[in-house]
Structure 1
Amino acid sequence: MCERKAFIKEIVFDFAGAFFFGIGIYNFAGNSEFVTGGISGISLIVYHVTRAPIGVVSLLLQIPLICLCLWIFGKRYLFSSLKTAVIFSLVLDHIVIKLPVYQGNPILAAVCAGVFSGVGLALVYGYGGCTGGTDYLLMALKYKYPHLTLGQISIVMDGIIIGVGALIFQKMDAAILGVICVYVSAAVIDRIAYRMGAGKLVLAISKEKNRIAEMINEETSRGCTFVKAYGGYKNTYRDLILCACSNNQSVIIKNLISKVDEKAFVIILNSSEVFGEGFKKIIERESNYV
């Protein structure tokens, strides 16, 4: 039952992500003279040259990449990425095309394309989804050339795609707009996807460690960990209270500590992601760009 609910939730996130991504690619980038990176960028080039459906082209382009990655890495990414690729293709060719197309300022089009496509991909990545695309090629190249970083390979691939798009449109503006779109999209993904599992880490030193831990557990249902710490100021051993919690709970925990011990030493740190009981499950699937 739990697996079924998780699968349904994954489908919902895929459709929501595909909807936002489709608006960014078709309704903003599709009518403007620039392309994005990845498979979607290649699909836009084909669309501008032949007017072939973006979703169908994107799906067809992924088939050889899926076969390549299946041959190298096995079945690990196959089902998830194939499912998401089909959903993205259907939404691109049958849903977002019914919405109005933006025909205004190209710079605004590039920014909006980056924002919407970034939100779409973030929704998929945030739930541990996988969209396939040129990341299949990226992983294959990384496997072949391990001395190169994923960032270096990605920049080269997106740069080539955007450059080809600029040649097709015969405008330098096309390359600039493409870079703006890719940058905005990456920034939005970072803001949303990699902060969906964000939280706080509370560190505290107090003589009332047991009472503080009990109150934290009663009020927030969060557990605490005691770590032996050596203080360099007084050269003594003290117990360090460590508690991972949500952003909202950090305020409650801080107030609880102050009520128990006003002299407690407290540090609250940002944690980009928290996994484990009470938080997100550890998902082995990696995020992949369209």
Structure 2
Amino acid sequence: MEAVKRYGILTVGSVVLGISDYIFKFQNHFSFGGVSGIAVIMSGLLGGSASTYTFVINMLLLVVAFVLLGKEVAMRSAYVSVLYSVTLEVIQYVWPMSKPLTNQPVLELVFCFMIIAVCSAIFFNMNASSGGSDIIALILKKYTNVSIGTALLVVDFIVVIVAFFVYGVTVGLFSLAGFLAKSFFIDTVIESLNLCKYFTIISKNAEPICNYINAELNHGATIYDARGAYTKDNKQVVMTVVKREQARNLRNYVHKVDPDAFMMITNSSEIIGKGFIE
């Protein structure tokens, strides 16, 4: 059941990303970098469809991944990459477009990078990727000492600069703006998807709180004895991490069983351990 859910999300994300790139990115010649950005540049230089160039490049990279990185690594990128590429190839025949959807390029730029950022964050969060430049990163990691992040950033930036010469200053500036916005927005979305609440609860009635965390929220907790520096009262400190949607329930329950409890609630987007990232 978990595998069905996982592949269902990956399928929806791949199709949405493909449709978004075709409608917003390719029609406006936005070149943010990556394989799709290279395809847009090739379309401007050589003619032809950016969708077809994306399909061909991604398939070639998958073949290279099988040869240089092995079957296991290639298969992790194959599903999303193939589905995304096929979506791009099919939609150009189902919905032929010869011009942008609207006459508002700024609006289309915003939708384009937001959808790219959200879909990419979902893929990364599920240990998947849309292939393309991620495969190039894995090859660089295996065969060179080049910093992957730096190398990909440089390649993407070069694609953006080339857009200035191929499509003009206006498209080049839009591409640069999208490149910068996408880079920051992806990290924000990833953090939002992984956001959890870290509770430090100081209470005289810690046992029912721990029972509630274990039984109702299905999480663990750590408890230790403490003494107030001013009151000298003996209390207990409960530390736990819960999902964002569970935080309100825990806060209300603590307030119910111990109105005098002291709670410190902190946002955290990187929790490693059972029930979270393992």
Which of the five TM-score ranges fits, normalised by the shorter chain? 0.7 to 0.9
Distance change in 2, residues 1:140/1:236 (3 Å): farther
Greater alpha carbon shift after TM alignment, 66-75 vs 111-120: 66-75
Q: Which amino acid is 2:163 matched to?
A: G
Q: Which amino acid is 1:255 matched to?
A: N
Distance change in 2, residues 1:51/1:23 (3 Å): farther
Paired residues for 1:91-170 under 5 Å: 91-95=87-91, 98-99=94-95, 101-143=100-142, 144-145=144-145, 148=147, 150-169=148-167
Distance 2:87 2:23 in 1: 12
Percent of aligned positions that are identical:
24
Distance 1:239 1:66 in 2: 55
List runs of 5+ in structure 2 lacking aligned partners: none
Is residue 166–residue 174 contact of structure 1 (8 Å, CA) maintained in 2? yes
Name the counterpart of 2:207.
210
- Tell whether 2:85 aligns with 1:84: no
Is residue 51–residue 92 contact of structure 2 (8 Å, CA) maintained in 1? no
Q: Which amino acid is 2:194 matched to?
A: G
Name the counterpart of 1:18.
14
Deviation digits for residues 127-148 of structure 1 (CA, Å, limit 9, x no counterpart): 33222211222333345225x3
Q: CA deviation at 1:234?
A: 7.8
Q: CA deviation at 1:218?
A: 4.3
RMSD of the TM alignment (CA)?
Answer: 3.1
List runs of 5+ in structure 1 lacking aligned partners: 283-290
Name the counterpart of 1:285.
none
Q: CA deviation at 1:239?
A: 4.1
Paired residues for 1:222-233 under 5 Å: 222-227=219-224
Is residue 15–residue 91 contact of structure 1 (8 Å, CA) maintained in 2? no
Is residue 204–residue 234 contact of structure 2 (8 Å, CA) maintained in 1? no
Q: CA deviation at 1:203?
A: 1.1
Name the counterpart of 2:54.
58
1:267 alignment partner, one of 257, 260, 264 = 264
Q: CA deviation at 1:202?
A: 1.1
Name the counterpart of 1:242.
239
